[in-house]
Homo-oligomer: A and B are copies of this chain.
Amino acid sequence: MRILFRIAYDGTGYCGFQSQKNGLAIQDVIGGALCDLFGEPVKTMSASRTDAGVHAEGNVLVFDTETKIRPEKLAFAVNARLPEDIRIVRSVRVPDDFHPRFQSTIKTYEYRIINRPHPDPLTRNTEMHYYYPLDEAKMDEAARSIIGEHDFLSFCAAGFSSKTTVRRIYDARVTRSGDRITFSVTGSGFLYNMVRILAGTLIEIGAGKYPPEEMKRILEARDRSKAGPTAVPKGLVLMEIRYPDYEGTL
């Protein structure tokens, strides 16, 4: 049977989600736990290869197994073999032809900023610290201007290979709660470093470097050099991945 894991992790200690030549990846650690549980190597497929230092509340991993353990109990069995910074938060059976990447998905990311003179030690690994005051209303206005289907070439890191740089954004907003600013964005897919470049650009707008309307002009320029810097990885959290074709069954 094919099993889908929803996975949460603190990416601080890892070289990213996907196995790499140098460094320990989250996929390696989960693979090791599955191998220990089943007594043989297990091939896993993920929905999103998050970068080093990036976190998740709900990345998706899929694999096949002949185990007799019930799907919802598998999460406990695997968690017992994982370090505290990685947790399987949900485990369900999916159709045998389900693939986490090659079908329509809706992904939601958050980029978290603490905006005050000094960072907060309690959340130091999961938010970016920004000293100067940020105007969240301007950031929100700019964020909303990317909603819709656009070519996001301006917000894509060099070296990205994809058939198209057009993506559909369903929702994008910036909210503040006390000293904390959150940029939330939901879309059909994201280019390499796209959310972090969007966040870096929104921060420049919030700091008053250019007005909110500039966001639209940057988008239309289709030129990476027009956008802001790539914001640090630790502020980024992959919140959720939804599969519209399987809505209600996963």
A75 CB–B CB distance under 8 Å: yes
Shortest distance between the CB of A6 and any CB in chain B (Å): 10
Give complex CA distance A75, B118 in Å: 9
A85 CB–B CB distance under 8 Å: yes
Complex interface: chain B residues within 8 A of A116 (CB): 89
CB-contact partner of A118 in B10, B87, B117, under 8 A? B87
Chain B: which residue is nearest A125 at the CB level? B122
Shortest distance between the CB of A161 and any CB in chain B (Å): 31
Query: Count of chain A residues with Cβ under 8 Å from any Cβ of B?
Result: 23
CB-contact partner of A85 in B9, B10, B57, B121, under 8 A? B121
A86 CB–B CB distance under 8 Å: yes
Complex interface: chain B residues within 8 A of A117 (CB): 75, 89
Give complex CA distance A10, B123 in Å: 9
Most buried by B among A117, A118, A121, A126: A121
In the bound complex, do residue B84 and residue A121 qualify as a contact, i.e. CB atoms below 8 Å apart? Answer: yes
A124 CB–B CB distance under 8 Å: yes
Shortest distance between the CB of A139 and any CB in chain B (Å): 23
Give complex CA distance A75, B119 in Å: 12
Q: How many copies does the complex hold?
A: 2
A8 CB–B CB distance under 8 Å: yes
A55 CB–B CB distance under 8 Å: yes
Main secondary structure of the interface of A (DSSP, over half): mixed
Give complex CA distance A122, B85 in Å: 7
A198 CB–B CB distance under 8 Å: no
Most buried by B among A75, A85, A118: A118
In the bound complex, do residue A84 and residue B124 qualify as a contact, i.e. CB atoms below 8 Å apart? Answer: yes
Q: Known: A10-B124, A124-B10. Contact between A87 and B119, CB under 8 A? A: yes
A4 CB–B CB distance under 8 Å: no
In the bound complex, do residue A121 and residue B88 qualify as a contact, i.e. CB atoms below 8 Å apart? Answer: no
Query: Which of A162-217 touch B at CB < 8 Å?
Result: none
Chain B: which residue is nearest A116 at the CB level? B89
Chain B: which residue is nearest A6 at the CB level? B118
In the bound complex, do residue A126 and residue B122 qualify as a contact, i.e. CB atoms below 8 Å apart? Answer: yes
Can you report 21 A-B residue pairs in the complex whose CB atoms are below 8 A from each other? A8-B118, A8-B120, A8-B121, A8-B122, A9-B121, A10-B121, A10-B124, A55-B122, A57-B120, A57-B122, A75-B117, A75-B118, A79-B118, A84-B124, A85-B121, A85-B124, A86-B121, A87-B118, A87-B120, A87-B121, A88-B118
